[in-house]
Structure 1
Amino acid sequence: MNQSARRIGRTLALVLPVVLVLSGTLAVTRVNWSGGSQSVLTASAEDASVPAKSRAPQDVLRDRLLLELQDKSPATALTHLQEEVNERPSLARHCASIARALGRAAVRQYGPSRAQSYSRPVCDTAFATGVAQQTT
């Protein structure tokens, strides 16, 4: 009887810590740490099945230039637009739409007359078109 008690004691000494660690780990992953309605484990499992959306280069460029227009000036954004189109000719077909978006944003930030003063022949007259569209 003494040997079987030792054997049970050794087994419990080895198995019990493993069971406690695993149950604690599972409990921590089930706790809603984010404050939302789903657990973190469930949310991450759902996100894993959805492929990440990649953004088109012209969308990335437009967003970057719009931020640049706000932080610096429309002139800087237009210069960088022209440089990007020169470096990557595949963006040329999107140049006019990006320049129009910059023109509209310039009107919102600087007003129509000041925005028009930044007009240049980048992508023909698309920037000026964007300014005119925003003011009408």
Structure 2
Amino acid sequence: MNQTARRIGRSLALVLPVVLVLSGTLAVSSVPWAGQRSETQLLTAAAENVAAPAAARTEQRRAPQDLLLDRLVGEMERTDPGVALTHLQRAVEDSPSLAPHCMSIARDLGAAAVRVYGPTRAQSFSRPVCDTSFAGGVAAAS
């Protein structure tokens, strides 16, 4: 009887987080996070603070997902990973062309968060944005 209870407890311990993450992903994806922002605004924001014109031309040739990742990593370093994840969600909602890159961006944010905050603190910011790829990046970098 005692072993059966342990087996049930272990099964719940494995299944319950998966159910919570999936339901959280669905909830987050259905919430309108902010007003509409165009991809041009995201690119402009990412290209700000470029000192030399040559550097600006180089930035313009980079892919939008790379510019977004750079902007989010900088934002994460200035504030925290939670803010960067919120802005990633907004960017994907505002520009669906970024959706295929969402998981890799979130994973890279997780790895960067480990470098800045350490594995334990970085994991505390994890939430279901882009199928919990942030948590995967934290785990891979730890």
TM tier, smaller: 0.5 to 0.7
Instruction: Indicate which of 99, 116, 121 corresponds to 1:114.
Output: 121
TM superposition shift of 1:79:
0.2
Structure 1 ranges of 4+ moved more than 2 A: none
| Number of aligned positions between the proteins | 85
The aligned residue for residue 27 of structure 1 is none
User: What pairs with 1:39-118 in structure 2 (closer than 5 Å)?
Assistant: 52-53=57-58, 54-118=61-125
Partner residue, 1:34 = none
| Cα deviation digits, residues 70-95 of structure 1 (max 9, x gap) | 00000000000000000000000000
* Structure 1 residue matching 2:126: 3-state secondary structure: coil
Structure 2, gaps ≥5 residues long = 1-56
Q: Identity, % of aligned pairs?
A: 63
State the superposition RMSD in angstroms: 1.4
Query: Match of 1:69, as an amino acid?
Result: M
Give 1:125 deviation, angstroms: 1.3
| SS of alignment partner, residue 130 of structure 2 | coil
Residue 84 of structure 1 aligns with an amino acid whose one-letter code is: A
Amino acid at match of 1:133: A
AA aligned to 1:65 is L
Distance in 2, matches of 1:127 and 1:83, equals 15
Task: Tell me the amino acid that sits aligned with residue 140 of structure 2.
Answer: Q
Larger radius of gyration: 1
User: Which of 128, 132, 141 is 1:125 aligned to?
Assistant: 132
Q: Cα deviations across residues 47-100 of structure 1 (Å, max 9, x unaligned)? A: xxxxx5411100100000000000000000000000000000000000011001
CA distance in 2, matches of 1:93, 1:82: 12
TM-score by length of 2: 0.58
